[in-house]
Structure 1
Amino acid sequence: MHAVASQLLGRTNVGGSCCNPAVEAMLLLLCLGFIPTVAPCPPYCLCASDIISCSGSNLSALPFGLPSYATRLDLSHNALRAVHVDWVSQPFHWLTTLVLSWNSISQIEVAAFILTPHLLHLDLSSNQLRVLNSSIFTGLTELKELLLIGNQIAQIMPGAFSDVNSLQRLYLSVNSLTTFPLGLFEDPGGPPNLTFLDLSHNRLSKLPIQSLLSVSRHAVIYLQENPLLCDCALIALLEYWLWKQYRPLVDFQGEYQCRGTAVREVKCTHGGLSDVPLVAENYQVEPGEWLRVPCPGLKLPVQEGLIVFWVTPKTAVNSTAGDPSSHLSVLPNGTLEFQGALMEDSGIYECVVARGRYYDLEESPEARVMVGNSTISSTTSLARRSSSEHFNTAFTTLASCVISIILVLLYLYLTPCQCRESRGGGSRGCGARAIILCSDPREVESGQRRANGKRVVFLEPQADDSDISVPKTPVMTLDHVSTEGILKNGSRTVGHTLTDPTHMT
């Protein structure tokens, strides 16, 4: 019988009295399994609200019968060797973080995490995993972050991440990978939302340059501290990433071995490139026509063996291998050829080739291609980039108009009348174009006052007449206007100082 039921029975049978009907109903529900029981906290663990920590308890097997209310379970710094399917006795519906780091885990059974379906963070760092088998992470459909740092992983089997469709960040640093796991991005069973991959401190010597040019546009990939072999394709990739200010390379420039003098050692730029600054070119073509776009700064003839890459709006192509089914191809001289341009071909194309130098900030190895109506193409591209800016500008303008209207209304209806008659019969303190007419007390006494409050009269401009002796009211002028422009971080601030016309003499 459940522990809770035993306690209730002990409390209700004191003195031989009959059981309370409410208690009897609860006992019946407990026996039938309708009211779940909570397992007690193990003596070697610490349980605080929704956190359970069994770290550093020298456990050789996963504890059985843990409380299922936890949202975070820490089992790090133990002696665990395997994760079996039945390591928990009941589903952990609230568990979002599971820490299994700093153990000796070398085996994870298929579907071992099926009872923790709502995990968001899983830490398996500093263990002894060697191979990630297929379907090893089955059931983790909501997992967003997976840490596998400091294992001995040398192989990732196809389908290992087939069920983790929400995975965004994957840490595989300090392992034994010798091949770039391109299947994470290209295989149908790979995580479709992966935007962060850490492969630093592995044993990678070759990289899929063409695939990385395409993948790195939407994913952050760290590759520092790998024994990369220098060749012209890798040098072209590193130079291109530096020009794009790609954070994984910019932040760890000193930890990439293929840099600096390696460009001259492999002789990728012998007579093939000019020192003329690279300038973006514009091309326009009608749908269905052929177009050839030369690589900026590349002189002809091209050095034999020099690989030229083109990063297109959809993918990346190179001069050594082409897709016969594609209408885009790179000629041996590095020229990009459109065999019948399509409307969706409009966009920016970047030529990536080893140049032996870093690009200046003003340079751009780009070519802008517009297919069909140039106005539509350019407008569409501009609208995609600055739609948020347009919204902010429109909102600011609307808010300014509303505030201005409110201030005008407050001035007209709430400001006390300050108009006084001057000796010459004119008004003093009122504008020449909009005069606030004050009520005359003599009109009130004589009963000639028609309305209370203030009235606004708009006077039509009068033609100049030399015979008129009444002096004209001067129009408001700006005696002092100071404008200061500051250019900082691409923004400009302009300040104006206006002199109040009411204080002018």
Structure 2
Amino acid sequence: MPQPVLSLFQCSLTLLGETNVGGSRWNPAVLFLLCFGFLPSVATCPPYCLCASDIISCCGSNLSTLPSDLPSYATRLDLSHNALTALRVDWISQPFDRLATLVLSKNSISRIEVNTFNVTLHLLHLDLSSNQLTVLNSSIFTGLRELKELLLFGNRIVQINPGAFSDLHSLQKLYLSTNRLTAFPLGLYEEPGGPRNLTFLDLSSNKLSKVPVQSLLLITRHGGIYLQENPLVCDCALLALLEYWMWKQYRPLVDFRTEYPCREGAGTGLNCTQQGVSDMSLEAQTYQVEPGRWLRVPCPGLNLPVQEGVVVFWITPQIALNSSVSNPSGHLIVLPNGTLEIQGALMEDSGTYGCVVARGRHFDPSEPLEVSVVVGNLSTTSTSELAHSGGEHFNTAFTTLASCVVSIILVMLYLYLTPCRCRDNRGGSRGCGGRAITLCSDPREVESGQRRSNGKRVAFLEPQAEDSSIDGPKTPAVNLDHVNPEGILKNGSRTVEQNFTDAAHMA
């Protein structure tokens, strides 16, 4: 057979199934494309890069621009330790739809254009550490809605413009340490379109002198913020924050307590309020108020009058307040003496309230710095909270108990209410269809004392195929006249098997 015809014949065969070629199994579609010359060309790895499966590494190649022949199937691209200076919109010639990790650390990148990362929309990890970035402009990370981790430490960042982190809805971890920031990037949490679930922020080793204490009290309830090795000005507000964090055993502070100002035993010399140990009982930590009524909650352990200039912070379930700034539009107010006033209580005001004020000492974890506020009937609220917290466990236990009861009832119904008819010597109906054998006692056995229970005894057997003829005779499986019920219960099927040979006497 001529070679072209033979090749065409082999290609036709592969369309019908897989073909063994040289001991290997080839996919029919691949062989078809090979035969007719339709197989697309596969991108080759650049000579100065290392390609292993879907990982491409071009690190340490002194690249000032990216090669245009990078395979776009990569899920990890390492371009670290090169000479890149800028990231432009066309820095990659084709989209990298599968790219999840992009490493650009240890370059000289000082500028990133808007929409630069539109070709890598599915990035999860972006490393821009150890570069020369000085300003983060607005929308430079546009398109990275799936990004979870962003590394920017080791740059020269002095300014973060509003909207710089817009579109980073999924961002969870942000590393900004070892930069030159002088202002806390509060826009990360307050600007619309920014991160919604940021749980880790590293701002250590910057040039921060002040931090928004009131905002941090609320933000740090849901995530960790590292501020060590910053030249923070130690005032009463910062001291109150650090004392409260230590009382809460806040991990970013506990792990680096010696690298913060106002640390315990440092001799700060601040003229802040010195308070004794609170003697407030556990019962006094709960306050109850009816909806629409007013309530005043004193700060736990704060002796009156409050020293002039001392700011008292309150952390409520929704917001954080302080005694130095009034909130005329709200119904929660902190009075100058540190007392929290709730005007026209609402049901959503129920929850835990924390009072934060500089006391100049380390707190024992057992000391009460928080109180509970209940809006509505105390007993009703407690019962509803208990039912809500334990509802899932109660439902599970109740379902399990109900299932057990139903199972027991069904078994009892099956044992004692199954419409099986006993067979007499004249030949009766077979009854249960072979799936269960009802052992009915003869009245004479009762008189002779051989019957040892007051009803039926059931031995469960494997289902047996019945004769296809409905009217034809059915052969019983077991000789019921010689079965010892106690033997069935004690020895399983061995007693039953010994009587299989007498099945002919059942009829």
- The answer to whether TM tops 0.5 is yes
1:395 correspondence with 2:399:
no
Q: Where does residue 253 of structure 2 map in the other structure? A: 249
Q: Secondary structure at the match of 2:354?
A: strand
Q: Where does residue 194 of structure 2 map in the other structure? A: 190
One-letter amino acid of the counterpart of residue 352, structure 1: V
1:331 corresponds to which of 332, 335, 355? 335
Distance 2:456 2:342 in 1: 78
Conserved? CA contact 2:153–2:177, under 8 Å: yes
| Structure 1 runs not aligned, ≥5 long | 1-11, 414-438, 456-505
Q: Secondary structure at the match of 1:370?
A: strand
Q: Secondary structure at the match of 2:245?
A: helix
1:266 corresponds to which of 257, 264, 270? 270
**CA-CA distance at 1:65 after TM superposition:** 2.2
1:125 corresponds to which of 104, 120, 129? 129
Deviations, residues 62-82 of structure 1 (Å, cap 9, x unaligned):
222210111111111111111
For the structure 1 residues 393 and 286, does the alpha-carbon distance in structure 2 shift closer, same or farther, using more than 3 Å as the test?
closer
Matches within 5 A, 1:228-377: 228-262=232-266, 265-270=269-274, 273-280=275-282, 281-377=285-381
Conserved? CA contact 1:68–1:91, under 8 Å: yes
Conserved? CA contact 2:351–2:372, under 8 Å: yes
Q: Where does residue 94 of structure 1 map in the other structure? A: 98
2:163 corresponds to which of 155, 159, 164? 159
One-letter amino acid of the counterpart of residue 275, structure 1: V
Distance 2:380 2:304 in 1: 34
Conserved? CA contact 1:205–1:228, under 8 Å: yes
Deviations, residues 20-49 of structure 1 (Å, cap 9, x unaligned):
9999x969x999xxx864321101111111
Q: Secondary structure at the match of 1:443?
A: helix
**CA-CA distance at 1:265 after TM superposition:** 0.7
One-letter amino acid of the counterpart of residue 260, structure 1: E
Conserved? CA contact 1:278–1:365, under 8 Å: no
**CA-CA distance at 1:347 after TM superposition:** 1.3
Q: Where does residue 209 of structure 2 map in the other structure? A: 205
Q: Secondary structure at the match of 1:329?
A: strand
Conserved? CA contact 1:170–1:198, under 8 Å: yes
For the structure 1 residues 278 and 448, does the alpha-carbon distance in structure 2 shift closer, same or farther, using more than 3 Å as the test?
closer
Q: Where does residue 501 of structure 2 map in the other structure? A: none
For the structure 1 residues 391 and 172, does the alpha-carbon distance in structure 2 shift closer, same or farther, using more than 3 Å as the test?
same
2:107 corresponds to which of 96, 103, 107? 103
For the structure 1 residues 287 and 36, does the alpha-carbon distance in structure 2 shift closer, same or farther, using more than 3 Å as the test?
farther
Matches within 5 A, 1:465-476: none
Q: Secondary structure at the match of 1:113?
A: helix
Matches within 5 A, 1:53-72: 53-72=57-76
Deviations, residues 82-112 of structure 1 (Å, cap 9, x unaligned):
1111111111111011011111111111111
One-letter amino acid of the counterpart of residue 274, structure 1: G
Matches within 5 A, 1:485-496: none
**CA-CA distance at 1:380 after TM superposition:** 4.3
Q: Secondary structure at the match of 1:180?
A: coil
Deviations, residues 430-459 of structure 1 (Å, cap 9, x unaligned):
xxxxxxxxx99992896975866389xxxx
Structure 1 residues 399-408 or 373-382, which shifts more?
399-408
Matches within 5 A, 1:24-63: 37-63=41-67
Q: Where does residue 19 of structure 2 map in the other structure? A: none
Distance 1:92 1:42 in 2: 16
Distance 1:80 1:383 in 2: 60
For the structure 1 residues 447 and 351, does the alpha-carbon distance in structure 2 shift closer, same or farther, using more than 3 Å as the test?
closer
One-letter amino acid of the counterpart of residue 395, structure 1: T
Q: Secondary structure at the match of 1:114?
A: helix
Percent of paired sites with the same residue: 65
Q: Secondary structure at the match of 1:317?
A: strand
For the structure 1 residues 393 and 251, does the alpha-carbon distance in structure 2 shift closer, same or farther, using more than 3 Å as the test?
farther
1:112 correspondence with 2:109:
no
2:84 corresponds to which of 80, 84, 102? 80
Deviations, residues 457-494 of structure 1 (Å, cap 9, x unaligned):
xxxxxxxxxxxxxxxxxxxxxxxxxxxxxxxxxxxxxx
Q: Please, what TM-score do these two structures have when normalized by structure 1?
A: 0.72
Distance 1:447 1:217 in 2: 78
**CA-CA distance at 1:371 after TM superposition:** 1.5
Q: Where does residue 179 of structure 1 map in the other structure? A: 183
Distance 2:267 2:219 in 1: 24
One-letter amino acid of the counterpart of residue 277, structure 2: D
Aligned residues: 406
**CA-CA distance at 1:214 after TM superposition:** 0.9
Deviations, residues 108-141 of structure 1 (Å, cap 9, x unaligned):
1111110111001101111111110111011111
1:443 correspondence with 2:450:
no
Conserved? CA contact 1:278–1:297, under 8 Å: yes
Structure 1 residues 118-127 or 161-170, which shifts more?
161-170
Q: RMSD between aligned alpha carbons?
A: 3.6
Conserved? CA contact 2:138–2:161, under 8 Å: yes
1:227 correspondence with 2:228:
no
Q: Secondary structure at the match of 2:154?
A: coil
**CA-CA distance at 1:399 after TM superposition:** 4.8
Distance 2:456 2:380 in 1: 59
Q: Secondary structure at the match of 1:265?
A: coil
Q: Secondary structure at the match of 2:198?
A: coil
For the structure 1 residues 380 and 194, does the alpha-carbon distance in structure 2 shift closer, same or farther, using more than 3 Å as the test?
farther
For the structure 1 residues 66 and 279, does the alpha-carbon distance in structure 2 shift closer, same or farther, using more than 3 Å as the test?
farther
Q: Secondary structure at the match of 2:238?
A: helix
Conserved? CA contact 1:150–1:173, under 8 Å: yes
